[in-house]
Structure 1
């Protein structure tokens, strides 16, 4: 077995007590016996612990990457030594190789899918429709994927049920806020070796990921600027103490930019010529469409300054783009993704939702479904137990009061 990959997996596993507790039950009960799972996720150590947990439950797992630059090759190789697991991911693969690997996952004829960005589901509904009848259901990890899936469902095009793992409190409050906030900043700092304190730090989008980034950057002494399209979120950012302005204005002020929208064309040719010399641009959304790299390649001179940084020169001013505009916390050379403890919670949700969709998917229509509240609270309870934290419970009188309408105040 690959030594470095296995070491990474073992290191991660010791900080993932929630997934560990689920694995113990899965090993005893084998709830996924005979299930084929097709996965497109970031193939790194924490994902590998999830894969091993599913395999321990009896599943046959076929996995590839969901981003050409987020795979750790030593972990991918180590996964292929795990019984019941087949990994096709490769770092820095070309676009045709990326989709060929997705097709290899689908060639296994999975009955359950687990996506990060819904590339598997998109492929099933476009190029591989002959396999749709064999799919019981799926799970989706990201905001971007859920947006696309809800659009499909609204058009009546989503052929099977999918659990919106991203949309539950245990995912948003911890993975999106703390995970993205800490890991994106860590990758920016380790890749550039520049200071955050005192910089004008522009966060595009004030969803859960944007809130986490803004909070972490502010904690390091940055002057945070938020750009938004939603008036309520913009007002929230203002009330949280940040400057709010359109991107056309922020482009002139920012020293460091991070996009977190999951949408396209956030930083474009309208903004680049306005930016300061030495500005740093990065993406913590999902796909590499938030920063208009094709525009820069066409209109600017370019060179690789150091690992993970491409510098584009416009009118003598340098614009530094991290990780080719891909996920900065995973696609930079030393990017490790979200902290282990955060992904313990998110992947515990994935494991339990996979069990749920395998058991209940056949009785559900095509569409997007919320994570059952019992799963969300179970993950929280296991985590609290692992931390040695106890909480209160409602008394009988309190339950009666909360569930009655005829008791006066």
Structure 2
């Protein structure tokens, strides 16, 4: 698609913001060597020539570079945001100048946000990259007229994969989706180190308060929760983990953290970070026992983990006291603070995961998109894992970019491992 066509079709805030967006994208791409390598391959191979790709991801610089990589593979790309507060308007403008159709703006109303998703789908994509399952959900529930062209896609998040598997279980999923979130090079690094660092980047830059010596309550000890707890410990916090999974609770305990129910943790927490992917993790019963000054944040996909309506019902005063901080004062004088409206604190109040981390994740996205395009007829309408050879290839590309070599098995070692008689 030409730049002029992209400008005519796009819905963004201000094309004049493009220069700053280009600088952000250039900075990110300079720190994404794996994706650079894949871009060079795509430019030669043109795996998406003649195809349309719709993308819904947190629309900031690293995502923008992924869109450019997919475009380099011959695709006509349309992109939208996957969260109202994580879209960066200058990045959107830069993408439009680069010939990519953009339907996104920072902080749209709920109605506008959904309309932007629908406009992205109305480009009639052959392939989809989704984050949280919104594009796929709308396609199946509301815009089935657009299903026929879709060959398949890739999903970024735990939340999205849960939705996809529910659709598959109910026999409703109409095309294959690759569970990128479940790849080793995604959850081991993106979820753990990416979320761990970026969540605290968002919290620290927003609050400008010390973490050392305070009690941090981390709700959920999946890979994201592990990262958030690890980084909180590194900042000098006393860390409490809440869990519903007995195995993960034991793991948190053996990692050196206190483990207790949220009803108990609510009494002692200074900072709260929810990373469960579920709703109502912190509710009215917890607000009743929380300390004055408690700071509540979320690093899960949707803004339902911290129950805002129940807090609003208890509050006698609500005011914004600092960018991305809303204060709720209760009748007894206690004040609680919710960061970034309870949305993803690392993106709504920060720049998201480090570029070097997203380098691996978005390399997986690009390679998974090529995989599903090549194999969609054989895969069928189901959720599938990223093939291990693609996962390992991303890791090898990463090691090579770092100048790190590793050992390989000798023929004798392979024979030994494959035998049940040798010892």
TM-score, normalised to structure 2, is: 0.95
Match of 2:377 in 1: 362
Equivalents in 1 of 2:418, 2:309: separation in Å? Answer: 58
Match of 1:283 in 2: 298
Match of 2:3 in 1: none
The SS at the match of 1:138 is strand
Choose 173-182 or 289-298, whichever is displaced more: 289-298
Pick from 56, 76, 86 the counterpart of residue 70 of structure 1: 86
In the alignment, does 2:377 pair up with 1:323? Answer: no
Q: CA RMSD in A?
A: 0.8
Shift of 1:55: 0.3
Pick from 57, 76, 92 the counterpart of residue 60 of structure 1: 76
Pick from 216, 231, 255 the counterpart of residue 216 of structure 1: 231
Deviations 1:332-388 (A, max 9, x none): 2xx100011000010000000011111111222111100001110110001100100
Pick from 254, 262, 265 the counterpart of residue 269 of structure 2: 254
Equivalents in 1 of 2:150, 2:377: separation in Å? Answer: 9
Deviations 1:23-80 (A, max 9, x none): 0111111111011111111100000110000000001111101100000000011111
Equivalents in 2 of 1:154, 1:404: separation in Å? Answer: 39
The SS at the match of 1:32 is coil
Shift of 1:157: 1.2
In the alignment, does 2:211 pair up with 1:204? Answer: no
Shift of 1:405: 2.1
Match of 2:401 in 1: 386
Deviations 1:75-123 (A, max 9, x none): 011111113x101110000011011011111111001111110000000
Match of 2:183 in 1: 168
Match of 1:240 in 2: 255
Match of 1:138 in 2: 153
Equivalents in 1 of 2:287, 2:51: separation in Å? Answer: 49
Pick from 114, 118, 139 the counterpart of residue 129 of structure 2: 114
Match of 2:52 in 1: 36
Match of 1:10 in 2: 26
Match of 2:4 in 1: none
Shift of 1:303: 0.4
Pick from 131, 134, 142 the counterpart of residue 127 of structure 1: 142
Match of 1:337 in 2: 352
Deviations 1:246-272 (A, max 9, x none): 000000010000000011010111111
The SS at the match of 2:283 is coil
Aligned residues: 405
Equivalents in 2 of 1:362, 1:44: separation in Å? Answer: 33
| Structure 1 runs of 4+ with >2 Å offset | none
Deviations 1:280-316 (A, max 9, x none): 0000011000011111222212100110000001121
Equivalents in 1 of 2:416, 2:149: separation in Å? Answer: 48
Match of 2:170 in 1: 155
The SS at the match of 1:80 is helix
Equivalents in 1 of 2:239, 2:293: separation in Å? Answer: 18
Consecutive unaligned residues in structure 1, runs of 5 or more:
none
Match of 2:6 in 1: none
The SS at the match of 2:326 is strand
TM-score, normalised to structure 1, is: 0.98
Consecutive unaligned residues in structure 2, runs of 5 or more:
1-15
Match of 1:309 in 2: 325
Pick from 371, 378, 390 the counterpart of residue 386 of structure 2: 371
Shift of 1:19: 0.1
Equivalents in 1 of 2:118, 2:216: separation in Å? Answer: 40
Match of 1:186 in 2: 201
Deviations 1:114-169 (A, max 9, x none): 11100000000100011222110010000111111111111111111100000011
Shift of 1:185: 0.5
Equivalents in 2 of 1:155, 1:118: separation in Å? Answer: 16
Match of 2:35 in 1: 19
Choose 299-308 or 252-261, whichever is displaced more: 299-308
The SS at the match of 2:280 is coil
Pick from 79, 84, 88 the counterpart of residue 103 of structure 2: 88
Deviations 1:204-260 (A, max 9, x none): 000000001111110111000000000000010011110000000000010000000
